[in-house]
Amino acid sequence: MLSLILTCFESTLSEAKRREGVVRSLASLVPCVVEGIVADAALIGPQGADLESVADEAGCALIETTDAARGLGAALARARCPHVLLLSAGYAVHAGFSDAARDLLAFGGLAQARVLRLEPNSVLTRLAPGLARPVGVLATKQALLSARSASPGAIARQLRAAEFFTMARRAV
């Protein structure tokens, strides 16, 4: 099982789109909750982002902070599972995510962190999908605690994350 940590510090999301991005990201993971892949969830967001009602409705813990890395540390302390999906708000996982995550966990694939990338959206990323923007990371709590960032891209580089089997799409 995975603990979900959704970071709401995405710089491309305006204040008006932040709530919608959080809701759409969480909605894409509902099948994972139903199938028992995601056990618990936490939202990390800036103070005053008006995410209390979304967190309450979704049954998520809410951590408001000015420092995303500090918020990630607090969320990791609350995470119930040893494996974590760190996802940026505004991105949604594809339908095959739950099957790929289940297989990865069942066969011990999180000995090395995995990066979840944005689906190809240009000629360059279609030719070289590894150049697509990292929007999520699957890793152990210990590995994420050793990273000194809350950015999926920075964490993926620090942990030398391998590619994950599926990609994510922009939700807003």
- Locate 142 and state its tokens: 């210990």
The per-residue pLDDT for range 62-72, each reduced to its tens digit, is 999 988 999 99
The per-residue pLDDT for range 127-149, each reduced to its tens digit, is 887 778 899 999 999 999 998 88
| DSSP-derived secondary structure for 126-169 | HH-GGGSPEEEEEEEHHHHHH-S---HHHHHHHHTPEEEEEEEE
pLDDT range class, residue 12, cuts 50, 70, 90? low
Question: What does each C-alpha distance from 28 to 48, 87, 98, 169 come to in angstroms?
Answer: 25, 11, 10, 10
* Residue scoring higher pLDDT (43 or 131): 43
User: Which pLDDT does position 149 carry in this prediction?
Assistant: 87
pLDDT range class, residue 95, cuts 50, 70, 90? confident
Whether pTM > 0.95 for this model: the answer is no
Q: Which domains does the chain have, with CATH numbers?
A: 2-170 (3.90.550.10)
User: Which pLDDT does position 40 carry in this prediction?
Assistant: 95
